[in-house]
Structure 1
């Protein structure tokens, strides 16, 4: 079974974790949520705290070799906290070295910049971090989904169907077989 690792912490944009996760599961894939600590992580739902998600494993226990792809949900707080964690950044680099798909939405491309893997790549993101991505050497465009090599990036929750479709297709599932969850 195809396994997708989702790395997130408190402040993840709720729709950007739960909707792609539902879409991946609908496509017959296993999803595993990794975070900085055991327990639950608290989502952010537009302008207030949202639902929690159970953590399956800590990032300290994860090996990129055990998964087929990496999903990085956005939200402003989530990637800002995660990019300060060396284990998370090294994990992203490991997925990249193995050329496994890395899908990052909204503010999550900050993590790709921190891992120093976007130089010379074309990406998209939430508008407020585009200068950061350009400063990290990326070409930034305003499109619902951008694929460059093993990287898949999107801008916001409205892009979740296209974002999910790109990742699912990259993992070899015919997307027409899957009913995608909208944001």
Structure 2
């Protein structure tokens, strides 16, 4: 007599496939782009050089500004310890006289970090206050639009004294250097 084979019971593969698929979705969710990860770049020590063309005098005039920033930073999450960037701006009417200029035009700056990464920041709001002694304090607030920290806020504060008080009378003030230059990038 021959043994009759019992029909096999169907396997329950559907729950295993569903569980495997959900697990893969979880892994994809965790593997978000690096730019979406919050960073904490705090640059409280830095320098700025601003060159004015034509040089500033006591007569208001259109002026081009060429700016170079250098920073020493700390960051627990990104490893950034230094960075630099340069940009140019146009001031339609500026001089050595005491003034408040706000809002300045939107300025885009890309900072290059020691880690090989960069952050492109659009500073949409900037105010420049020139005191009677020639010291300029510039406060800029913006957003990181690309690179490290994309989607986060950026705040930059610079204080540049006029150390050559006769330059405005004698051919014009062609450049200033900062005593304070800071940049903070943080989650919103």
TM-score between both structures, scaled by the size of structure 1 = 0.22
Q: Greater share of helix residues, 1 or 2?
A: 1
TM-score between both structures, scaled by the size of structure 2 = 0.22
Between structure 1 and structure 2, the one with the greater Rg is: 2
